[in-house]
Amino acid sequence: MKVARLLNGFSLKYRENILHKRFFTVVSIDILVKLSGIILLPVYLRLMTQEEYGLYNYILSIILTFSLVLNFGLYIPLAKFYHDYKDALQKGKLLFTLFSLLAMALFPVIFIIYFFGFDYKIVDILFKHEINYGHYRVAIMMAIIVSVLNFMLTSFFFTSEKINRVKSYNVWRIICINIITIALLYFFKDNDKVELRLISTYLIEFILFLFFSYFLFAEFIRVFSNKTAASSIKLAVPVMLSAIFGIVINFGDKFFLEKYGNFKDLSNYFLAASCAGLIPLIFTSVQNVWLPVFFKEKDLAANFLKTKKLMGRLVLAFLLLGASIVGFVKILLVFNIIPSKYDQAIFILPILLVSQIISAIVPLYSNYLIYFEKTYIVAYTGFFICVIIYAASMLLIPRFGVYGAALVSVISNLVYFIIYYFIITNLASKHLRTIS
């Protein structure tokens, strides 16, 4: 009986912990969503040729990388300021101001790039192998815009702690996108599979965005605040600059692999990256749940202790998850559920898993740069990492191909972690000495 009471008391305390509640609510559904993506990989691998799969994922990585720049870092003031305001009126003005800033920046930039044909010059840099870019141009433009809008909408749901909206949004996205896209790829076998998958995915994403954005627009107070805009831009610009450097950091391995390899090499690399990508995708949910709790805590020492505990648990959980992913992919290859032409992916996968585990815990430290409102450090750090990544890529990828690209990924994330660890530790020590 005593043991039962202790267990019941522990269980009650655990259930009442708001972070654990949100964590398991969001992450459980996210694990289901992301696992479904991995489970469906063999379907896509058989519906697309190896070259098509490699090209599609290379284009997708370009879209996702550039969309991180084109949100202009505005998700940071959203996360930082939303909980500083106590009433719905102030929050509504904040939301209207931030999304107005996004519209005023995003659409002119996209128009200028496409009207003057700058995108063709970008493609000439990003692609060594010839592709019919004009064929994909409209689909890529749509995909970049929709990716930015979806990212900002999801950031709003997490920041405002509308967890049920996140669940519904993610479930509808995964069901609609996969069912419709797989059906189109199957029934329109003679069409360009890359273009078909891009249009299908992002057209559905846009329709779902329009539906779920009602919950965002309902909170708008249509008053543009110049003061809020100025504060937001000050906080967001360094993050945007960091995202520009992130083009090299997050995309450098794929860029050099395309230059020194081919789309078959990219297909193996992206298959391994897709499986390893389960870790940062799950961490994104953890981060989104964690941030509101993180910013609400004003006691720095308590925040540091919570961060260390969370980091330790995440590393252990991700190591176990990584081992499970390797075993799962190996089984799929042994039973030819994943075609044998992708055998090389199983050797790349462990290296990328290490990289993604390190990558996942870096934001737990970089959050403190927002906490201290020193986001300019992100830009300086990004520039330094760019130099390292460029040098490592030139040295390793021409010699070792896909394995060199995987090692570059590990090096970039490890250097990031080391730099942020020392910067944040130093800033925290100074802050604690000041208030003591």
The torsion angles phi and psi of 349, rounded to 5 degrees, stand at -55, -50
What does the DSSP 8-state code read for residue 342? G
Calpha distance 333→42 (Å, rounded): 10
- How many other β-carbons are positioned within 10 Å of the β-carbon of residue 142? 18
* pTM assigned to the model: 0.73
Token output for 273: 């990256």
Calpha distance 343→53 (Å, rounded): 15
- 435: CB partners within 8 A, 6+ apart: 300
The torsion angles phi and psi of 218, rounded to 5 degrees, stand at -65, -25
Calpha distance 210→216 (Å, rounded): 10
pLDDT at position 367 is 77
What does the DSSP 8-state code read for residue 341? G
Measured CA distances, 417 to 76, 80, 130, 133, 266 (Å): 20, 22, 37, 37, 27
pLDDT at position 7 is 41
Token output for 204: 């559905």
Measured CA distances, 172 to 60, 127, 205 (Å): 20, 34, 9
pLDDT at position 6 is 44
pLDDT at position 203 is 94
Quick one: how many helices (H) and strands (E) in the chain?
A: 17, 0
Token output for 364: 């737990």
Token output for 117: 């044909």
pLDDT at position 434 is 67
pLDDT at position 182 is 93
Calpha distance 276→352 (Å, rounded): 6
What does the DSSP 8-state code read for residue 337? S
The torsion angles phi and psi of 369, rounded to 5 degrees, stand at -70, -30
Q: What is the dihedral of CA 425, 428, 430, 436, to 10 degrees?
A: -140
pLDDT at position 11 is 46
Query: 379 near 245, Cβ under 8 Å?
Result: yes
User: Which among 77, 70, 103 has a CA at the least distance from the CA of 91?
Assistant: 77
Between helix 263-276 and helix 278-296 the angle, nearest 10°, is 40
The residue to which tokens 């599609």 are assigned: 56
- 237: CB partners within 8 A, 6+ apart: 72, 73
* pLDDT tens per residue across all 436 residues of the chain: 444 444 444 444 444 455 555 555 555 555 666 666 677 878 888 898 888 888 888 888 888 888 888 888 888 888 778 877 778 888 888 899 999 999 999 999 999 988 888 888 887 777 776 777 878 888 899 999 999 999 899 888 878 878 778 778 888 888 899 999 999 998 988 888 989 999 999 999 999 999 999 988 888 888 888 888 888 888 888 778 777 776 766 666 777 777 787 778 888 888 888 888 888 877 877 777 777 777 776 777 777 788 888 888 889 989 998 999 899 889 988 888 888 888 888 999 999 999 989 988 888 887 777 777 676 777 677 778 778 888 888 888 888 888 888 898 898 888 888 888 888 888 777 766 665 5
User: Which among 279, 133, 156 has a CA at the least distance from the CA of 214?
Assistant: 156
pLDDT at position 435 is 58
Amino acid letter, 223: V
pLDDT at position 300 is 73
What own/partner pairs with CB < 8 Å and gap ≥ 24 does 104-107 have? 105/72, 106/70, 106/71, 106/72, 106/145, 106/148
Query: 102 near 179, Cβ under 8 Å?
Result: no
User: Which among 343, 336, 357 has a CA at the least distance from the CA of 278?
Assistant: 357
Query: 301 near 58, Cβ under 8 Å?
Result: no
3-state SS of 199-258 is HHHHHHHHHHHHHHCHHHHCCCCCCCCHHHHHHHHHHHHHHHHHHHHHHHHHHHHHHHHH
